[in-house]
């Protein structure tokens, strides 16, 4: 059998966590991998920016299912725990409502049941049942479906009866509402899809599995932030003989003889490869990078009809002289606004920037004092907002600063009194930043929304429907967004890419 004389080349467009994980897995399969990214740091949404001694982790802050990372490293013959330090969080996070009531989420089952009993003793039995439901959906949805290719219709047809049985057509919120009556508990058991870009009132109830993930495997913080995970991934790729080129933008995926043949960069350079992986958003991949080829499934019209996840407004800020101040503000706090269902409707359906807001507040300096100068703190406050595709689009050039001030007011009233007097650094990301920085269609925070008819087989496939030799990794493909999700996309992709043929020289050496 003929073997090439040099290793097979693979190019990965995008050094997001999905792209880096795909590169590691391709390296383990024998490919010589080049990763390119237009940003100056690896990690994509998981990268960080340092200003005035404050390290701002731009995106993911909660690491769940750490065994997904360990499995990725093990597939490359490496030990994750030698490269990255994960710190288990206790408590996980605190939810605070406008009426002053709170719910502290922890791994300990007794502590969680005590919290439920404190808020609504009558809901305890329903809560126990909800957790059992979550575990079943974890086994089916995460361990089963989420780690397997779903690009053949037959794969989907096989799971439909189980989906029917588990009432996957119901939303996460509807499922929580069937089990508990207290409005606060309904929130606490159903808000999780917002962290992967889904509307809890429409996303399939399979996603209640997140409650099981948290309980079974904990919530963790990566020392050095998720950026440290991305850097460690780059280290593995380089040890495999691959390279990661930052400040390098792909302009087009090249095809020859009906197959992917490489990538043309924006500066005109061409990287030839037998395997091309796009970690760019599938919308950008099919609308822009593949614009010279006719597309059958992911046409511009079809992408325009897709429902996209919401946008995000993120205010990153530093404070001085605050260490020890604000004891109510732990590492992770969720400040729930006065409305839930109607607010979510404003964001996802009406596309309206509401006056009221719910915020997720990140204060990593509680766990990792090195993220801020001595005596200070590093924060971000995140508000879900409409993406840029609604008819009544938000003019962020005009609205960003007033909205930031509104966020500051809510923080001062509810969590960080006197904040204004301590502020140092300040940086704002709007959906327009997401559009321009990550080339994210409509500035969506998490790519295509994970509704049932946009999940699994319905999502852009990990093995491209449009061009042989092209594969997809990242939030917009199967299984979806979130750190474990995008690592899962690389795991699925690796099952679809053939092993690299062994170069003739290596075969000769092995025979000697
Ligand atoms: C604010 C925020 C908070 C989050 N919190 C959490 C959390 O706590 N826990 C969790 O699990 N998940 C969280 N997530 C979700 C998670 O971060 C993402 O789903 C995941 O990181 C996305 O990874 P990805 O590989 O799909 O892509 P991305 O991170 O988007 O990376 C794609 C990369 O491709 C590059 N690129 C695109 N086009 C090109 C091109 N043409 N040429 C070169 N490079 C290109 C981009 O520059 C980018 O670096 C959060 C996300 C955000 C935004």
DSSP secondary structure of 316-332: EEEESS-TT--TT--SE
Q: Is the CB of 37 under 6 A from ligand 1?
A: yes
Residue 505 banded pLDDT, cuts 50, 70, 90: low
Nearest to 307 by CA among 174, 193, 442: 442
List all residues 6 or more positions away from 491 whose beta carbon is below 8 Å from its beta carbon: 21, 25, 68, 71, 72, 147
Residue 261's alpha-carbon distances to 275, 431, 470, in angstroms, are 7, 33, 9
pLDDT higher than threshold 80 for residue 340: yes
Cα 127 from Cα 135, distance rounded (Å): 13
Ligand 1 centroid from CA 490, angstroms: 14
pLDDT score of 156: 87
Q: Whose CA is nearest to atom 5 of ligand 1?
A: 60
Average pLDDT over residues 228-233: 98
Contact 173, 186 (CB under 8 A): yes
Contact 44, 17 (CB under 8 A): yes
pLDDT higher than threshold 60 for residue 1: no
pLDDT score of 510: 65
pLDDT score of 105: 97
Q: Whose CA is nearest to atom 1 of ligand 1?
A: 59
Ligand 1 centroid from CA 485, angstroms: 11
Burial level of 70, CB count in 10 A (0-12/13-18/19+)? middle
Q: Which of 60, 229, 266, 385 to mutate to test the pocket of ligand 1 (most atoms within 8 A of CB)?
A: 60
Q: Is the CB of 400 under 6 A from ligand 1?
A: no
Reduced to 3 states (helix: H, G, I; strand: E, B; else coil), residue 510 is helix
pLDDT score of 20: 98
* Residue pLDDT, tens place only, 241-259: 999 999 999 999 999 999 9
Residue 262 banded pLDDT, cuts 50, 70, 90: very high
pLDDT higher than threshold 60 for residue 484: yes
Q: Is the CB of 62 under 6 A from ligand 1?
A: yes
pLDDT score of 493: 98
Cα 118 from Cα 395, distance rounded (Å): 43
Count of Cβ atoms closer than 10 Å to residue 337 Cβ: 18
Burial level of 110, CB count in 10 A (0-12/13-18/19+)? exposed
Q: Is the CB of 322 under 6 A from ligand 1?
A: no
Cα 118 from Cα 96, distance rounded (Å): 14
Kindly report the average pLDDT of the chain as a whole number.
95
Ligand 1 centroid from CA 501, angstroms: 31
Q: Is the CB of 446 under 6 A from ligand 1?
A: yes
pLDDT score of 501: 85
At residue 507's C-alpha, the angle toward residues 504 and 511, to 5°, is 140
Q: What is the phi/psi pair of residue 88, to 5°?
A: -70, 140
All domains in the chain, ordered by first residue = 9-86+222-305+450-510 (3.50.50.60), 111-218 (no CATH), 311-438 (no CATH)
Contact 282, 461 (CB under 8 A): no
HEC-encoded secondary structure of 48-112: EEEECCEEEECCCCCECCHHHHHHHHHHCCCCHHHHCCEEECCCCEEEECCCCCEEEECCCHHHH
Contact 315, 430 (CB under 8 A): no
Percent of the chain with pLDDT over 90: 91
* Residue pLDDT, tens place only, 123-181: 999 999 999 999 999 999 888 888 899 999 998 898 888 888 889 999 999 999 999 99
Q: Is the CB of 39 under 6 A from ligand 1?
A: yes
pLDDT higher than threshold 60 for residue 7: yes
pLDDT score of 392: 81
pLDDT score of 146: 87
At residue 490's C-alpha, the angle toward residues 487 and 495, to 5°, is 135
Which ligand 1 atom is nearest residue 64's CA? 11
Q: Which of 12, 14, 381, 449 to mutate to test the pocket of ligand 1 (most atoms within 8 A of CB)?
A: 14
Average pLDDT over residues 299-321: 97
Ligand 1 centroid from CA 178, angstroms: 34
pLDDT score of 163: 87
Nearest to 474 by CA among 486, 483, 484, 457: 486
Contact 154, 457 (CB under 8 A): no
pLDDT higher than threshold 60 for residue 2: no
Q: Is the CB of 383 under 6 A from ligand 1?
A: no
């Amino acid at each position: 059998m003929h073997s090439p004389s040099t290793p097979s080349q693979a190019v990965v467009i995008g050094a997001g966590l999905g792209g880096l994980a795909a590169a590691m897995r391709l390296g383990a399969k024998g490919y010589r991998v080049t990763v390119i990214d237009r940003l100056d740091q690896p990690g994509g949404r998981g990268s960080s920016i340092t200003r005035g001694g404050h390290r701002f982790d731009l995106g993911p802050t909660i690491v769940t299912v750490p065994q997904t990372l360990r499995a990725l490293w093990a597939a490359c013959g490496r030990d994750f725990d030698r490269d990255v330090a994960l710190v288990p969080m206790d408590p996980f996070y605190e939810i605070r409502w406008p009426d002053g009531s709170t719910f502290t989420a922890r791994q300990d089952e007794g502590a969680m049941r005590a919290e439920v009993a404190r808020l609504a003793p009558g809901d305890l039995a329903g809560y126990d049942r909800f957790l059992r439901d979550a575990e079943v959906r974890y086994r089916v949805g995460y361990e089963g479906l989420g780690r397997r290719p779903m690009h053949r219709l037959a794969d989907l047809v096989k799971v439909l009866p189980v989906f029917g049985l588990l009432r996957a057509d119901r939303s996460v919120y509807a499922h929580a509402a069937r089990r508990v009556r207290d409005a606060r508990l309904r929130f606490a058991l159903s808000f999780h899809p917002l962290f992967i870009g889904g509307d809890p009132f429409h996303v399939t109830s399979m996603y209640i599995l997140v409650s099981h993930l948290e309980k079974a495997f904990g919530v963790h913080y990566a020392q050095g932030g998720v950026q440290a995970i991305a850097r460690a991934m780059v280290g593995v790729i380089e040890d495999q003989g691959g390279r990661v080129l930052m400040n390098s933008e792909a302009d087009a995926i090249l095809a020859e003889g009906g197959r992917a043949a490489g990538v043309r960069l924006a500066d005109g350079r061409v990287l030839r490869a037998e395997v091309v992986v796009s970690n760019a958003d599938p919308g950008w991949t099919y609308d822009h990078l593949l614009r010279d080829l006719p597309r059958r499934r992911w046409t511009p019209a079809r992408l325009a009809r897709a429902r996209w996840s919401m946008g995000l407004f993120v205010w990153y800020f530093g404070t001085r002289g605050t260490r020890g101040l604000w004891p109510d503000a732990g590492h992770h706090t969720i400040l729930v606004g006065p409305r839930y269902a109607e607010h979510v409707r404003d964001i996802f359906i009406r596309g309206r920037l509401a006056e009221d807001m719910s915020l997720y507040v990140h204060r990593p300096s509680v766990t990792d004092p090195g993220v801020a100068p001595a005596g200070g703190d590093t924060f971000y406050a995140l508000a879900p907002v409409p993406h840029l595709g609604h008819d009544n689009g938000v003019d962020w050039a005009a609205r960003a600063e007033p909205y930031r001030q509104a966020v500051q007011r809510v923080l001062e009233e509810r969590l960080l009194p006197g904040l204004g007097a301590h502020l140092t650094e300040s940086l704002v990301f709007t959906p327009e930043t997401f559009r321009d920085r990550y080339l994210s269609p409509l500035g969506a925070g998490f790519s295509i929304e994970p509704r049932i008819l946009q999940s699994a087989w319905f999502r852009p496939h990990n093995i491209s429907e449009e061009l042989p030799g092209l594969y997809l990794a990242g939030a917009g493909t199967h299984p979806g967004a979130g750190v474990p999700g995008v690592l899962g996309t690389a795991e699925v992709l690796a099952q679809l890419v053939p092993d690299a043929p062994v170069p003739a020289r290596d075969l000769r050496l092995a025979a000697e």
